Amino acid sequence: MALALQLAKLLRPYQWVKNGFVFIGLLFGDAGRNPELGLKVVLAAAAFCLMSSCVYVLNDIFDRQADRAHPLKRSRPLASGAVGLSAAFALALVCAIAGLALGAAASAGVVAMLIAYLLLNLAYSAGLKHVAVLDVFIIAAGFMLRIFAGTWAVGIAPSQWLLLCGLLLTIFLGFAKRRAELMVSESDGSGGASQRPVLDDYSPALLDTMMAISAAGVIVSYSLYTVSPNTVALHHTDKLIYTVPFVLYGIFRYIFLVHRRGGEDPASTLLRDAHMLVTGIAWAFVTFWIIW
């Protein structure tokens, strides 16, 4: 039982909230009333949950030595020794195979996105995570693959505005994550090098500037999407503009959390902070109500 709990912890199921990006096309596209497309998107999201867990396990295998020196990550199953390498590799293999099987049930395109996601993360872990700026763009690319899996890969044409907004949002989250990690490394005196070497190439001012630029891009692109003539024609409403305040508050709240509480993990921040959770639910509810 104890081993099963540690294996479940290794999968990081709370991180599956990130795979909500797969549903963006279904929510904002003109395909939500098509049960067949809806099922394909659900299968794609489930497949990404399994493949992302495979990636988390592999990352923990590669980073287990560095994690042992981290004030929080040292309690992870591999870093603490609660799970052995053979069990971890077996778990990653099972997740990858199951994820590809679910993806194949959705479409060949979804399988291609899953393989691209896996290869991208392997390249990231192999060394690209040490290249400043590129490391964040690779993280953003992983999220964009989720969006593509829930749109092009299943036959839903995505809005160009939403693709731009999704890219900027994931870049913002990536730089915010680096900013929080830098704050943690400064507070515990590690200087960043022992935990994530790329942090030595960043500075608080640089990351704050990049966060500000990308956050402004998210707000502007999403706002323009809500008033775009194509959006109004597609959804037969001009009321999506009323969802902008939720996006504004969510962005500003997240920046506040990064500077005041760390906010090192976007998924954890979203699920544990009441303001972020309520804002996210309210945005989804109002958006769904306006469109449907």
- How many other CB atoms sit within 10 Å of the CB of residue 260? 9
pLDDT of 99:
97
Query: Long-range contacts: 248-251, Cβ < 8 Å, 24+?
Result: 248/219, 249/275, 249/279, 250/276, 250/279, 250/280, 250/283, 251/172, 251/215, 251/218, 251/219
| Residues 6 or more apart whose Cβ sits within 8 Å of residue 44 | 22, 102, 103, 106, 107, 110, 113, 149, 150, 153, 154
Mean pLDDT, the chain cut into blocks of 10 residues (292 residues total):
81 91 84 79 96 93 78 76 86 96 96 97 91 95 95 88 92 92 72 69 95 96 93 91 96 91 68 90 93 82
Under DSSP, is residue 228 helix (H, G, I), strand (E, B) or coil? coil
Under DSSP, is residue 101 helix (H, G, I), strand (E, B) or coil? helix
Dist. CA 274–CA 261, nearest whole Å:
14
Question: Based on C-alpha coordinates, what's the Rg of the chain?
Answer: 19
Q: Find out whether 127 and 199 touch, Cβ atoms under 8 Å.
A: no
pLDDT of 6:
86
Q: Find out whether 290 and 242 touch, Cβ atoms under 8 Å.
A: yes
| Residues 6 or more apart whose Cβ sits within 8 Å of residue 46 | 102
pLDDT of 191:
46
Q: pTM, whole model, 2 decimals?
A: 0.88
Dist. CA 41–CA 291, nearest whole Å:
18
Burial bucket for residue 155 (CB in 10 Å: 0-12, 13-18, 19+): middle
Nearest to 113 by CA among 26, 22, 8, 237: 22
Q: Is the dihedral of CA 193, 199, 205, 208 positive or negative?
A: negative
